[in-house]
Every structure is written in C-alpha cells, then in structure tokens.
C-alpha cells in the first residue's frame, strides 16, 4: 500500500504545471506569438512543461520532438546579446541548475553558451529571500561562435526540490557569424536513464551536483560553415565533435555563489580525447502518450480536469481545453479534492 501511494504521489507531481520556454519558440509549442507551420503529420504539443526524465527513467526523447520546425524561428548573432523567455507561472522546484546550449550537427553534440546555476528562476538564494520571478534571461553569445543557418537551441534544467527530474525544450534557430569552430563546455545531462548521473535533491545545499557543471565537466568543439543572415549558406556543416575531460583534484566545487556561471571558466584540459557519448536525440522513451478527442466548453486557463472516460487529463490553455493527455498504461485519472493525478484503479 505504501508503495502504491508513493507512486501515485509521484505521478500527481508530474501532472502539475512546470516550466517551458516560449522564446525561441520550442518545437510544436502552443504558447509562442508566432511559429512556422507544423511539419506534416505533427500536432501542437500542449505538454511541453513536463520532464523528459524522472528518477532515472527516460520519459521522452531529447527535444521531445525529433523533427525540427521547417524553418528557423529566431536569428541570433555571435557576440551579441540574446534573450530566452519562459512561460509565466509554473512550478520552479526551488530553483536548480539550468544550461543554455546550441548544436550544429542535428542534436548529436551540444556546446553550452550560458549557465544559470543553483538558483535558476530565482532572484537569489531562496534561503536569502530570493523569489522565483525570473522568467527572462539575457546573455551574450560567444564572439567566436560560428555561423550556421540550421542550429538547435536547447534549454535544460535539473530541479532543486522534488522528484529527480530532467527538463528540456528545443528551438530551431540560425546564428549569424563567420565560418570556424568554437570550444566550450559540453552540455550536462542528468537524471535521464542509464549512463547519466543522478543528482539528488539539494536539501538546501545548492552546490549539490555542481561539479558536473564545473570541475568535472568536459569540453567539446563544434564547427559551422558561417552564415551572413541573407540565405547565402544552405546548410550547416556536420561536425565531428571532440571531447576533452577537465582536470580536477576534487569532486566538489568551490566556485562562488553567483547564480550565473560562464561556460568558459574551465581552462585546464587534458591532452587525451574521446568520441562523444550517445547522442541525446537517439534516446527514445519506452512508452508513448496517445491523445483522444478533448472535452469542449470554456474553462479557466491553467486549470486541469480528468477526461470524460478517465483515460487521461486535460489542461486549460487560453480558455480552451487541450487534447487529452493519456495516463500511463493501466492507470486512470482521479480528481481528489481538486487535485488531478493518474493512479491505479
């Protein structure tokens, strides 16, 4: 009985509204002001705020959708400031570690261009009175970042409190810049199945797992053919990334308590190289989530309800119910005093 209750609580947590970006527009989002036409056969995704990994399990593939937008939704420029914006509200799980990365080879390799460690979404440490009101991050792209007309931007997040989850959204962008290469920190992936580390709950210690992002990080080199922003480049080069382990004498970090850490702080590397680990985009979930015809009628935005047949639940977005998001096989949706969750009948 205790085992059943604990799993039901975990599943209830997954139903809650979490965090997602809306700029650059993530693949198949319903919350961007404008976006390209959907790829053939694809539908709007009303569930982009859920984790792709939880408690060591892979729930969804990296980027959630492996087919990109048919065209870029943003054009950035190397050496210039850019802004990444999140949907207002959402559960911020007391902060955690966020990274902002780009890929030049279709999602096989990601290099970090900015980090928000420890207190992501918060103005400062929660224990010091910080509040979770940050929904925009503006940072400057590295000046030596190569140009490409086809890049993938990825936001990733390991939450400080709650189930050990891994969050991710991806947008398709272009980057104006010269041809060349850039070496920086490789994206940290955690709480995402076998082969990746599990970062435990922080329990007030915001240096938890920080070494994966700093002293124990690896370096990766990516290349691009260059892009002037006028359509003169037809495709980006497929890069063979090399990774280099950063030398470290300790598994814990003594970095400052600043909430923002540059991706270029690691300077001492070993001379050996190795081939990249399995590409995130090649990892697929063990189950898929089917959809069914949603209920109709007006509703209050961000409300939840079980579907009429109990097979799943719906989210109210812009005063209209989303498609039904199905519960896991063998479970049904329950409404317990206004709390919606999937559990065993």
**What is the domain partition of the chain in residue ranges?**
18-282, 290-345
Q: For residue 18, is pLDDT > 50?
A: yes
pLDDT bucket at 335, cuts 50 / 70 / 90: confident
Query: pLDDT tens-digit profile of 121-130?
Result: 999 999 999 9
Of 69, 71, 74, the C-alpha closest to 29 is 69
CATH architecture group of domain 18-282 = Distorted Sandwich (2.70)
Kindly state the average pLDDT of the residues 273-277: 33
The encoded tokens of residue 5 equal: 């209750």
Report how far residue 204's alpha carbon sits from residue 199's, in angstroms, rounded to the nearest whole number: 14
pLDDT bucket at 4, cuts 50 / 70 / 90: very low
Place of tokens 């997954």: 14
Report how far residue 189's alpha carbon sits from residue 136's, in angstroms, rounded to the nearest whole number: 22
Distance from the first to the final alpha carbon of the chain: 13
Tell me the DSSP string of 118-140: SBTTSSS-GGGT--S---EEEEE
> Phi/psi of residue 233, each to 5°?
-105, 130
Report how far residue 19's alpha carbon sits from residue 32's, in angstroms, rounded to the nearest whole number: 14
At CA 340, angle to CA 336 and CA 345, rounded to 5?
70
Query: pLDDT tens-digit profile of 68-113?
Result: 999 999 999 999 999 999 999 899 999 999 999 999 999 999 999 9
What 3-state DSSP class applies to 106? coil
């Amino acid at each position: 009985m205790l085992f059943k209750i604990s799993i039901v609580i975990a599943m209830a947590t997954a139903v809650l509204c979490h965090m997602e970006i809306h700029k650059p527009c993530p693949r198949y989002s319903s919350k961007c002001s404008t976006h390209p036409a959907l790829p053939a056969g694809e539908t709007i995704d009303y569930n982009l705020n859920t984790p792709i990994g939880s408690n060591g399990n892979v729930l969804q593939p990296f980027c959630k959708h492996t087919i990109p937008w048919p065209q870029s939704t943003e054009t950035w420029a190397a050496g210039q400031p850019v802004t990444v914006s999140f949907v207002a509200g959402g559960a911020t799980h007391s902060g955690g570690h966020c990274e902002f990365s780009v890929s030049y080879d279709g999602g096989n390799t990601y290099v970090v261009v900015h980090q928000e460690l420890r207190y992501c979404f918060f103005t400062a440490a929660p224990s010091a009175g910080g509040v979770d009101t940050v929904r925009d991050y503006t940072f400057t792209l590295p000046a030596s970042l190569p140009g490409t007309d086809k890049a993938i931007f990825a936001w990733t997040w390991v939450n400080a409190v709650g189930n050990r989850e891994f969050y991710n959204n991806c947008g398709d962008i272009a980057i104006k810049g010269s041809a060349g290469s850039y070496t920086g920190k490789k994206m940290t992936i955690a709480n995402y199945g076998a082969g990746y580390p599990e970062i435990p709950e922080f329990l007030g210690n915001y240096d938890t797992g920080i070494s994966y992002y700093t002293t124990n990080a690896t370096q990766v080199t990516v290349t691009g053919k260059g892009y002037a922003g006028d359509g003169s480049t037809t495709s980006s080069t497929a890069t063979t990334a090399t990774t280099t382990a950063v030398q470290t004498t300790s598994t814990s970090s003594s970095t400052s308590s600043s909430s923002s850490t540059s991706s270029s702080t690691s300077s001492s590397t070993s001379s050996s190289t190795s081939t990249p680990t399995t590409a995130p985009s090649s990892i697929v979930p063990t189950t898929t989530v089917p959809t069914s015809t949603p209920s109709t009628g007006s509703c209050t935005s961000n409300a939840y309800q079980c579907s009429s047949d109990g097979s799943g639940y719906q989210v109210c977005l812009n005063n209209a119910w989303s498609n039904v998001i199905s519960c896991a096989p063998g479970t049904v949706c329950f409404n317990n005093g206004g709390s919606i969750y999937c559990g065993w009948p």
